[in-house]
Structure 1
Amino acid sequence: MGKTVKKQRPVNLDLTTIRFPVTAISSILHRVSGVIMFVAVGILLWLLGLSLSSPEGFQSAAIVMHSFIAKFIMWGILTALAYHAVGGIRHMLMDFGFLPETLQTGIRSAYAAFGITVVLSILAGVLVW
């Protein structure tokens, strides 16, 4: 029989001590925003179906959209859409060679994506409220 090798690897299970680089955070948030948009399609289709079902359905949809929770959810959906679009444009600029694929450019473009998303999120808040 073969020898068993004991692996002496450090194990770090405390996630609060791990510091992700901004490029990793940007990538993770891009995926999360995609999942949020996928779920949002169901919500938006339900609201559209309700509003198109009848005049009473339209009134029901209008009443739903006047609640704070519905406005907050709509703002969240628009913010996720904005971040996903900005992150997608960022990736396409790199893929097509308009931005060099260096660590420094990745860091700067991630911060730029965050900044642009904050501005778009504020505009979405003004639009919704």
Structure 2
Amino acid sequence: MIALLKALFGVGAPQVSPRDAVQRMNQGAALVDVREAGEFAAGHVRGAYHIPLGDLRAGGPALLDAHLPAATTEILLICQSGMRSRLAQSGLVGKDARTYLNIAGGMSAWRAEGPPVSQQG
């Protein structure tokens, strides 16, 4: 229970702002959006990989290996508010050599700060 609370509140988990995330993406970090399909289709960060939280929790780093470029060492995680991406982060940290960073405030913060958002269909 304590581990879940720590994950939900981001205790000790590294986070970055949307602006910092853009800089990191420009340097080769991959962005993984853990929201559900409908949320992703309604608006997402251009270039984001869509892997819903449930799928990511079931597949772990092996699922990331199947979707991301092989040389990816830094992964940014995003959801709507930052809670689900924190859960994803807590489930991935320590399972491989990658660095996992949560985007503070999720898509809500991303939209507020103004970086581009894409929509499908």
TM range (shorter): under 0.3
Higher relative contact order (CA 8 A, sep 6+): 2
Structure exhibiting the larger radius of gyration computed from Cα positions: 1
Q: TM-score, normalised by structure 1?
A: 0.22
Structure 1 or 2: larger helix share? 1
Q: TM-score, normalised by structure 2?
A: 0.23
Structure 1 or 2: larger strand share? 2
